[in-house]
Copies of this chain bind each other. A is one copy, B any other.
Amino acid sequence: MEFSSKLLENAVYEMAQLPGIGKRTALRLVLHLLKQPKERTQQLSAALSKLREEVNFCRSCFNISDTEICEICANPKRDRSIICVVEDVRDVMAIENTAQFQGLYHVLGGKISPMEGIGPQDLKIAQLIEKVRAGEVRELIFALSSTMEGDTTNFYIYKQLEGLEVKTSTIARGIAVGDELEYADEVTLGRSIVNRVPFERSIKAN
């Protein structure tokens, strides 16, 4: 692309660094900003800068939080003995949305991924083990996505827990509610049969 302006080229270049945003899309977004009042762009820039400069992670669960201890960790009604281990803030939001979990979270900040150069020391795994070692935790629920990286991370943490008295579980894998059996993949369908649930319990859940 040949730009008529260095300023424009630079803005498009920076925008196109975002994942999933190509040069064409970046140009479209930047031109959109140019058609809007200046305040729009200033607010966007300021919000991004401010977040990046002042972002704070809860000292206990490492979720993004404006306070030193996040609202969930600070809530006396939450069950401190169950910790749900997740990858990032999106997972916390998704699980909170279900209103089915009353315990605390532990946000790892990613998954072990040798391909992307992310090792255990880049994640909040040591802090999790420390938390378990402190003794208050009765159960860890692994809620990472079931990919190679997710499974590796689960297993790594599991091995680190050896000798510690804590129950571990993973969230149930199975056919999504409302989905047709015939379109489910074999692995999921297989697991959903092996891990079948007493009928009475499935009624109660609804």
Contacts and interface: CB of A to CB of B under 8 A. Distances in A.
Given A8-B89, A18-B32, A52 B38 contact: yes
B7 A66 contact: yes
A14 B50 CA distance: 12
Interface residues of A, number: 62
Name A's interface SS: helix
Tell me how many chains of this kind the complex includes. 2
A72 B11 CA distance: 21
Interface string A98-112: 000000000000100
A76 interface: no
Contacts of A42: 49, 52
Interface in A162-181: none
Interface string A21-47: 100010111111111001011111111
Nearest to A32: B19
Given A25-B20, A38-B53, A53-B38, A30 B4 contact: no
Q: Which 3 A-B pairs have the closest CB atoms?
A: A45-B45, A41-B52, A11-B51
